[in-house]
Amino acid sequence: MNALHVYAGEDGATWRALFAAQAPEIECTAWPDTVEAAAVTSIACWNPPDGFFAGFPNLRSVFALGAGVDRLVERTDLAPHVALVRLVDAGMAAQMVEYAQLGVLLWQRRCLDYRTQQAQAAWRKLRPIARADTRVGVLGLGAMGGAIAAALDEAGYRVWGWSRRAHQIDGVRCLHEANGLSELLGETDVLVNTLPSTTATRGLLDRTRLAQLPTGALVVNAARGDQLDTSALLELLDSGHLGGALLDVFDPEPLPPDSPLWRHPRIVITPHVAATTLPGPAVAQIVDNLRRSRSGESMTGVVDRSVGY
Ligand code: GLV
């Protein structure tokens, strides 16, 4: 009883070895190992097939091998009494900070304008933009967005943030609720989206909200594709209202080869790599949580399934 089972596709053996190294006291198997399903009380996983959880009658907790749990929250095979736990930071916040910096520098150092000029072999110096004149708006101020806002503020950018709940970050103006969002969008040169995908945030960056951004603004989406209306984005880029986009996430993924996003000159695309799960820190966090739970303490990163993250 009390065994942990891992579903990580073809990487199962690697994860099993890491759990064994960090917590030899935990009995761990990994798909496709043969498993005594009734003994499994915890599962650590990423995108298990539909119906997977139904095979484990004594399941008590499911640990996501990632930060975003939108796919897991929707699962009908996950009984309501099972605790759903996500990774909190676990080495991903630092990667997200780098990705946000990439977007900010694309805008501040006018990389997309210079790319256009490069295509025309045009040697033309554009007006430089100072960090203090670069307004960055961060959506979501949790482990990821909070780290981004703090790092960019520290680097001298003008940062503000918006989130569902009120947050406090030194040097960063933190807004929340609907009015705050319009205010932020109206004065943001680089918009960085790190929000979890929930019923409240799906479709949030629609045509109306994107049009509230000032002329020339750049959109960074490092959260989930279903939050951004890419048709509206393309329209606003083509009309010259928006200046560019750095996109890591799409709906659906992989981004289909015939998507116009691939070939747009003012869009930079990465294949969902803004922050990848680091197995070492991820296993450490899950082991810590398993030990907490076994000694009756509360776990970190437990998802409130009613709000979706
Ligand atoms: C990646 O998208 C994650 O949610 O960790």
Query: What does the pLDDT look like over 91-115, one tens digit per residue?
Result: 999 999 999 999 999 999 999 999 9
Active-site residue 224, yes or no?
Answer: yes
* 151-161 tens-digit pLDDT: 999 999 999 99
H or E segment at 247?
Answer: strand 242-247
Whether residue 238 has pLDDT greater than 90: yes
**Angle formed at CA 155 by CA 153 and CA 161, multiple of 5 degrees:** 20
Whether residue 178 has pLDDT greater than 80: no
**Angle formed at CA 214 by CA 209 and CA 220, multiple of 5 degrees:** 65
Q: What percent of the chain has pLDDT over 90?
A: 97
Active-site residue 131, yes or no?
Answer: no
Quote the DSSP letter at residue 309.
Answer: -
Give the distance (Å) from ligand 1 centre to CA of residue 224.
9
In this structure, the residues whose C-beta lies within 6 A of any atom of ligand 1 are 66-68, 277
51, 27 Cβ separation under 8 angstroms: no
Q: Point out the catalytic residue in the list 71, 173, 272, 291.
A: 272
Give the distance (Å) from ligand 1 centre to CA of residue 126.
37
By most ligand atoms within 8 Å of CB, the mutation choice from 63, 92, 250 for ligand 1 is 92
Alpha-carbon span 53 to 68, nearest angstrom: 18
Q: Is the dihedral of CA 114, 120, 125, 127 positive or negative?
A: negative
Question: What strands, in cross-sheet order, belong to the sheet with 40-45?
Answer: 28-30, 3-7, 40-45, 61-64, 83-85
92, 277 Cβ separation under 8 angstroms: yes
Residue 269 pairs in a beta bridge with 247
Give the distance (Å) from ligand 1 centre to CA of residue 267.
21
The per-residue pLDDT for 177 is: 81
Q: Is the dihedral of CA 287, 293, 299, 301 positive or negative?
A: positive
Could you tell me the pLDDT band of residue 239, with boundaries at 50, 70 and 90? very high
The per-residue pLDDT for 174 is: 96
Look-up of token digits 């009658």: 57
| CB atoms inside a 10 Å sphere around CB 130 | 10
Q: Please return the burial class of 170, using the count of CB atoms within 10 Å of its CB with bins 0-12, 13-18 and 19+.
A: exposed
Tokens of 191: 């918009």
Count of H-run helices and E-run strands, the chain: 10, 12
- Cis-peptide, bond into residue 32, ω within 30° of zero: yes
The per-residue pLDDT for 105 is: 98
- Residue length of the chain: 309
